[in-house]
A and B are shown apart, each in its own frame.
Chain A
Amino acid sequence: MGSELRTNGISHRALRKPWQSAALMILPALALLLIFYFYPILRLMPKSFIDSDGNVTGEFFARIFTNELYIETLLRTLKIALLATAINLLAGYPTAYLLSRIRQRTANLLMGVILLSFWTSLLVRTYSWMVILQRTGILNKTLVAIGILNEPRTFMYTEAAILIGMTNILLPYMILPIYSVLKGLDPNLKFAARSLGATGAEAFFKVTLPLSAPGVASGVLLVFIQSLGFYITPLLLGGPETMMITGLIDKQMFTYLNWNFGSAIGMVLLLITVIFLMGFEKLFGVDKLSKGLM
């Protein structure tokens, strides 16, 4: 086929079948995923059920679900991820809504501010929160100075500290998809609702909010999945009491060099993520959300 193309020149390029160009276009991404994602996973996965003597065993998985500490860590991870998602949604939706309604120039400016924090290194932002939240940090000093607190309190190493840091870092992932959907809505829809007797609030809850559901769904998905696997921020802002699943994996692999157990926990995390994704797809699947919107 290749020689055919060459002998007949450019005219034959147009005859290339659609799937061929599609395959060509996804090739780079596919190669990257195969080499840097699927290959390591395939190497790691067997470790979770094959012990060092080469025997198949369920011992590593059994350990996760029989040890109270590990179950607690799993549940805490889920709780923090859900809370972070909820806080991000509550903070992100009104922001996105405001951005979609104000003048374009002001909106671009505010978007710049949001993206500025988005573009700052995650590590830098996490350390900044440590500076703010620590015992001798800005927050404690201010609260003591204005008399709200008598003595400095411990903000660091708590779930609250983790949530604050995660919200700050993940918020753009919530705002951007919601904003883009709201911005794309026909403003006449709101006008139509108003002219047909809906109050401002009714127009929002019956028309704008349901129509922004696809943005909310992608925002929630992006934030939740990232929260589940968040690593640096919980590690630095949290303590041993607030360890999340990623911290557990890190400890097993790099402190105890227990690769088998570490990879078993990793598989569990992957499984949880996939289950959530599937549940999400079933509840708010692409076809359901896009129904009537195209």
Chain B
Amino acid sequence: MCVVLQLIHLVKTYQSFRAVDDISLDLTKGEFLTLLGPSGSGKTTTLKMVAGLEIPSEGEIYVNGENITPLPPNKRGLGMVFQNYALFPHMTVKENIAFPLKMKRAHKKEEIAAKVDEMLELIRLDGYQERYPSQLSGGQQQRIALARAMVFHPPIVLMDEPLGALDKKLRAVMQFEIKRIQKKMNITTIYVTHDQEEALTMSDRIAIMNNGKIEQLGSPKEIYEHPANAFVADFIGESNFLPVEAKRRADGGQYLLTVKSQIASVIPFKSSSDLPQMADAKLFVRPEKTIINPGAEIGGARVTGRITDAVYLGEMIRYVLRIDEQFEFIVKQQTSDSNETLPVGSTVALGWPDECACLL
């Protein structure tokens, strides 16, 4: 695998505030990496440093082995897509897409026109050459911005919340479009978003950012199913965190978890990895991995809870339960013909496969 982009110990400070705090990353050719995090987590600042629109306080950025840290943005040759598209309103679609080619001064007129037409065909907006950005819909404008950032085949395209301004339905369409174009041109991409669903659907890898640091870097599946810490688990999807005390049993990998409540229910737990003794741990389980009244074929833990609320959401029912009458626990159950909503107030057994839970 050839490494296209390398961030080495990147730091950005504003006075005493560390907006980006020691970030290191490698991107391979054609990879789609998402920086995901709440606002103020440093993801956009990181992107702007790569683009050359912010100067790093410390650290270095390499593109294809070349140190680009001291270069101004126009010498870096990277494509960038902005949240509000940043299309030049006084130029037609054709002129917008041709802009980076003209700036390079390396292409003939006919060559530029051919490349622009090719891009427009790729983004399925052929025939819109002479329109102005204001005459296009939000989705069309974003596709033009995409074409403009990719027409000169940059080694890396940077996207700063490109779908933030679109409505939910269009966003889904555009997610697919961006992936299609990115794959077709095999362009290495860094994508910034605060939308976890977007990150999960589009990315090869996700870097979860918080307070200027990367909390976890991994594939969407890794991050969703094996979050490295409580922040990641809480940020991506809905999670249950049950405060427990973990004690190792004599036989390897087996633990006994005591719920930190008056009732102090005990949950057996089998971990694939070796854990230290933890007096103050949190048991993490996804609501949709939890099964109500599990059969014997589901191994792993059992705990009882009392249903305090049930909401029918169409494709699923969302139950809110209390474990040991103290800790809230959420379970999502797929709706099917056979099951009916369980009555509020009833006490049920809960279970989940051991590999779906972990201690944080």
| With A210-B90, A211-B90, A292-B90: A197-B104 Cβ-Cβ less than 8 Å | yes
- CB-based contact A211/B89 at 8 Å: yes
A-B contact pairs, 30 of them (CB 8 A): A186-B84, A189-B86, A189-B88, A191-B51, A191-B53, A191-B86, A192-B86, A192-B87, A193-B88, A194-B52, A194-B73, A194-B74, A195-B51, A195-B52, A195-B76, A195-B79, A196-B149, A197-B104, A197-B152, A198-B99, A199-B74, A200-B72, A206-B88, A207-B88, A292-B90, A292-B91, A292-B132, A292-B133, A293-B90, A293-B134
Residues of A within 8 A of B79 (CB): 195-196
Interface size on B, residues (CB 8 A): 31
- CB-based contact B149/A188 at 8 Å: no
Most buried by B among A194, A196, A197: A196
Question: Which residue of chain A is the closest to B158 with respect to CB atoms?
Answer: A195
Tell me how far the C-beta of B356 lies from the nearest C-beta in chain A, rounded to whole angstroms. Answer: 43
Tell me how far the C-beta of B308 lies from the nearest C-beta in chain A, rounded to whole angstroms. Answer: 48
Interface size on A, residues (CB 8 A): 23
B interface, CB within 8 angstroms of A: 51-53, 72-74, 76-80, 82, 84, 86-91, 99-100, 103-104, 132-135, 148-149, 152, 158
- CB-based contact B77/A197 at 8 Å: yes
Tell me how far the C-beta of B148 lies from the nearest C-beta in chain A, rounded to whole angstroms. Answer: 7
- CB-based contact A188/B86 at 8 Å: yes
Most buried by B among A189, A199, A200, A213: A189
A interface, CB within 8 angstroms of B: 186, 188-189, 191-200, 202, 206-207, 210-211, 213, 291-294
- CB-based contact A197/B74 at 8 Å: yes
Cross-chain pair count, CB within 8 angstroms: 79
Question: Which residue of chain B is the closest to A191 with respect to CB atoms?
Answer: B53
Residues of B within 8 A of A197 (CB): 74, 77, 100, 103-104, 152
Tell me how far the C-beta of A286 lies from the nearest C-beta in chain B, rounded to whole angstroms. Answer: 15
Question: Which residue of chain A is the closest to B151 with respect to CB atoms?
Answer: A196
| With A211-B89, A291-B132, A292-B133: A196-B100 Cβ-Cβ less than 8 Å | yes
Tell me how far the C-beta of A198 lies from the nearest C-beta in chain B, rounded to whole angstroms. Answer: 5
Is chain A's binding surface mostly helix, strand, loop or mixed?
helix
A293, B134: Cα distance in complex, Å: 7
| With A188-B84, A188-B86, A292-B89: A194-B72 Cβ-Cβ less than 8 Å | yes
| With A196-B100, A198-B74, A210-B90: A191-B134 Cβ-Cβ less than 8 Å | no
Tell me how far the C-beta of A190 lies from the nearest C-beta in chain B, rounded to whole angstroms. Answer: 9
A123, B267: Cα distance in complex, Å: 90
A211, B51: Cα distance in complex, Å: 24
A179, B201: Cα distance in complex, Å: 44
Residues of B within 8 A of A198 (CB): 74, 99, 103
A90, B90: Cα distance in complex, Å: 23
Residues of B within 8 A of A195 (CB): 51-53, 73-74, 76, 78-80, 158
Residues of B within 8 A of A193 (CB): 88, 99
Residues of A within 8 A of B149 (CB): 196
Tell me how far the C-beta of A285 lies from the nearest C-beta in chain B, rounded to whole angstroms. Answer: 15
